[in-house]
Amino acid sequence: MDMDSMEDERLQSSAPPKYGSVEGDGRGSDAIAVDVDEVGTPLMAGAEYSLNDELAGQGSGNNIGGFMGVFVPCNLAIFGAIVFERMGWVVGESGIGIALVLLVVGYIVVTITTISMSAIATNGTIKGGGAYYMISRSLGPSFGGSIGIMFYFANICGAATQMLGFIEALGFPPIGDLLASSYAWNLLYGAVTLFVILLICLVGANAFAKTAILIWVIMWISLAASIGSLWFAPSGYHDESTFSSWSAATFADNWGPDFNNEPEGGKDNTVMTVFGVFFPTCTGIMAGANMSGDLASPEKSIPRGTLAALGVTFLFYVAQVMSLGATVTREGLQQNYMIMQSIVFWWPFVAAGIFACSLSSALNNLIGSSRILQAIARDRIVPGLWFFQKGSEAADEPRRAVVLSYVLIQVCLCVGGMNAMATITTMFFLISYGTVNLAVFVQKWTGSPQFRPSFKFFNMWLSLAGAVLCIVVMFLVAPIPAACALATMIILFLAVSLRSVETDWGDVGQAILFHHVRKYLLQLDARKEHVKYWRPSMLLMVGNASKAVNLIDFVNNLKKGGLFIIGNIIVGSFDDASVEQLKRREEGWLNFISRGGFKAFASVVVAPSVATGLNMFLSAAGLGALQPNTVVFGMHKNNTHRKIHGDRDLSVSGMTSEKLLELAGESFGAGAADGTPAVGAVEYLAMLRNTIRVGRHFLVACHFSRLDKDMVKAFRGSRILHHTKRLTIDMWPVVFANQRGAYESSTQLNLMLGYILKQTSIWNVYSKLRVKVVVPNDSFVAAETERLERRLQESRIKSRVEVCLKCARILLFVWLFLFVWLFLFVWLFL
């Protein structure tokens, strides 16, 4: 048995082994089995565990089949008030032909999204938690959180649409004859009905859910009665100006479009505005996924049940469009929203269907949106939602989230017309479906080996086409709301991504980054490097983080867009103890770099000596063409030097020394003070020589424990003769005996590093550049000054030049001065 078949068999088992465990195959050999979570993502040690993960595996029965668990909920969610109150209007405005096209386009969108959802559902073992849980655990917090929030608002708007359909039905005879009708009264009816739904959610939502099959039966009886009336009613059964029974003339007259003004807003309708009202009748495909915790076999029931529900509803819509177009006149379709109720042989059938569909859909949307909000709050993806994570003690009902959702739905009722609310609902569902399709495409496109859905109809390019179709349709329906919805999704995605929430689900965003980084690293060719695009890429050798924070911060400024690697060497043999210490050091460095705000990578090696460890870094640090070109060493120190200067850690990176030391202690634990053993002078010089051998620059750092950025800022405030003084960054080109070429290279590197440092952090504001060089006598001053100024001009670097005489000349004058004073002292007093 090969490894893939063994892995697939293990995924279907009910008790998978723990991460990293070894599971015997019963034939004398061992197969390593990696624990895979509910959607096929490897668990990561040390990640934050969410309360949703614990609750998701509990379920309520785990014995519901695909019909009751997926097909019926999807039917109830797809059919709503629009099927009774707007399908006739859609046919009257767009005509039979265009209405069928709109129907096909809408179902292409939801079918492709269903296929993408089926890919997620069949990618490993599914636990409970609903559609949001399934999406977030498969795609990670970035996509999962942003999609979850948009789904939340889509459900809110969907509930408002259903409530507006219910309110509208109350205004038509014979019920409308008994009730007062105005905008204020309609708001009152909606508020009272919505409050009753709120009480049901707070008290008996589970009991109401058990009546789903009864509501489903009532809905189909109502639909059958309405279609039966269109099919079998005689021509004289209803007003002949609106109902002609089966007629070829009526069918031909209704085939083409005849767009009229919208009664609610007085605007001219178009194909896409009609589609915006119609599309909510295609949504509801997530209802089955919300039952994942109660399904006996969710990976089979969700795809089959959802696709079956789409097929049945699509066939009904086709029959309804054809029937309305062939039996009802254009005037009746456009002017009478309740044409279905007007034609049915007994109006309570349609009224019962409207009330059952609209109220059950509103209830499902209210409780569904509340559970999504509760799940997002528990995952701590979005800040400020922690208050809504608490559920009831008895059944963990999201009562706090229900109240918030109730308030938002009540606000949406103030929008007014059902058509306007349906268009807003379309925007939220389209952006949500588009993002799901895009995320599934990206996960397959990145080549993640863990994403291998068993749903055979899945195709990554189909998902991409679905995503593009959703975005295109959004902008065709309503450009400005579409742009707002897209911008909201992007902002949510970036906000969640930038928060860097630690989870154990994995993140498809990391897979995207890996794919692009690998792609562009392969394109980065070291043979094409040019001096005018050179930038410093630093390898900083550090022994003890707590004693090198100033230097780490300084090099972090100095690299300016280049690579920055912090190298740490553990001296010893490569045994279990050293490997364990290496793991602790790596984790500590990652935490220290992340929390300290340093843009760096950390690399820790185990070597028998410091010199050997450096050689390992010089030969293997970096990846491809992205390698360090400059190595930074600390000055070789003896005991006297340490006694004189000590090690003082002052403020860097916007943090005080106490906080940095505390951070180092938290990052490295008891080993925070452990460092690399000291090296001898000969070994130190050999390390510098080896650095030059491999073609790297090297910098030697000294006295950085005395660097105080607060002092630099304070010095900026001093004034002399009304001029603000600034500290200088002194650049001293090193003179090599009889090596003019080396001197030129050293000068150029010195100037470049000084310029780069001047562009960063506080150095840009609180310092200025100065080039200083020493010459043997006065005859060299003018020539060296001219040479350096010319070099600065060619390099386009603003700096002051100071040329100093050799120290010997200065000391000679000092000795002569002292000798004269000593001679005068002896002559006068002795």
C-alpha–C-alpha distance, residues 503 and 506, integer Å: 7
SS (H, E, C) 332-344: HHHHCCCHHHHHC
Counting as low any pLDDT under 70, the low residues of the chain are 1-63, 124-130, 204-209, 235-241, 261-267, 292-294, 416, 500-502, 637-676, 710, 712-725, 734-745, 806-817, 819-830
Q: Tokens in use for 741?
A: 């070429």
Task: Report the Cα 1 to chain-centroid distance in Å.
Answer: 39
Residue 539: the pLDDT is 92
Q: What is the dihedral angle through the alpha carbons of 326, 330, 331, 337, rounded to the nearest 10 degrees?
A: 80
Residue 738: the pLDDT is 46
SS (H, E, C) 526-550: HHHCCHHHCCCCEEEECCCHHHCHH
DSSP 8-state class, residue 126: -
Contact status, residue 85 vs residue 338, Cβ threshold 8 Å: yes
Residue 406: the pLDDT is 92
Cα-based distances in Å from 792 to 407, 535, 732, 734, 797? 67, 18, 14, 16, 5
The strand pair at 727-731 and 30-32 is best described as: unpaired
Provide the mean pLDDT of the chain.
77
Cα-based distances in Å from 581 to 177, 197, 570? 82, 59, 8
Contact status, residue 109 vs residue 469, Cβ threshold 8 Å: yes
H helices of 122-211, where? 130-139, 141-170, 175-178, 183-209
Residues 6+ apart with CB under 8 A from 584: 668, 669, 671
Q: Tokens in use for 432?
A: 């949500």
Whether this model's pTM surpasses 0.75: no
H helices of 413-565, where? 418-445, 460-477, 479-499, 508-523, 549-559
Residue 800 CB neighbours (<10 A): 12
Q: Tokens in use for 255?
A: 């085939």
Residue 802: the pLDDT is 81
Residue 472: the pLDDT is 93
Residue 671: the pLDDT is 53
Residue 830: the pLDDT is 56
Residues 6+ apart with CB under 8 A from 308: 66, 71
Cα-based distances in Å from 117 to 74, 271, 288? 14, 29, 11
C-alpha–C-alpha distance, residues 140 and 41, integer Å: 9
Contact status, residue 288 vs residue 70, Cβ threshold 8 Å: yes
C-alpha–C-alpha distance, residues 397 and 211, integer Å: 18
Identify how many contiguous H helices and E strands the chain contains and give both numbers. 33, 12
Contact status, residue 74 vs residue 285, Cβ threshold 8 Å: yes
Element (H, E) at 377: helix 347-379
Contact status, residue 430 vs residue 488, Cβ threshold 8 Å: no
Residues 6+ apart with CB under 8 A from 243: 233, 235, 237, 327, 328, 329, 332, 343
Q: Tokens in use for 430?
A: 């389209």
Q: Tokens in use for 13?
A: 């088992």
Tens of pLDDT, residues 671-715: 544 556 777 888 888 888 899 888 888 888 888 777 777 676 666
Tens of pLDDT, residues 451-484: 888 888 899 999 999 999 999 999 988 888 899 8
C-alpha–C-alpha distance, residues 624 and 619, integer Å: 12
| Cα-only R_g, the chain | 37
Sign of CA dihedral 331, 336, 340, 343: negative
Q: Tokens in use for 751?
A: 């100037």
Cα-based distances in Å from 166 to 163, 213, 306, 349? 5, 21, 26, 15
Residue 315: the pLDDT is 95
Sign of CA dihedral 430, 433, 436, 441: negative
- Kindly report whether the peptide bond that precedes residue 174 is cis, defined as omega within 30 degrees of 0: yes
Vertex 616 angle, CA 613 and 620, to 5°: 150
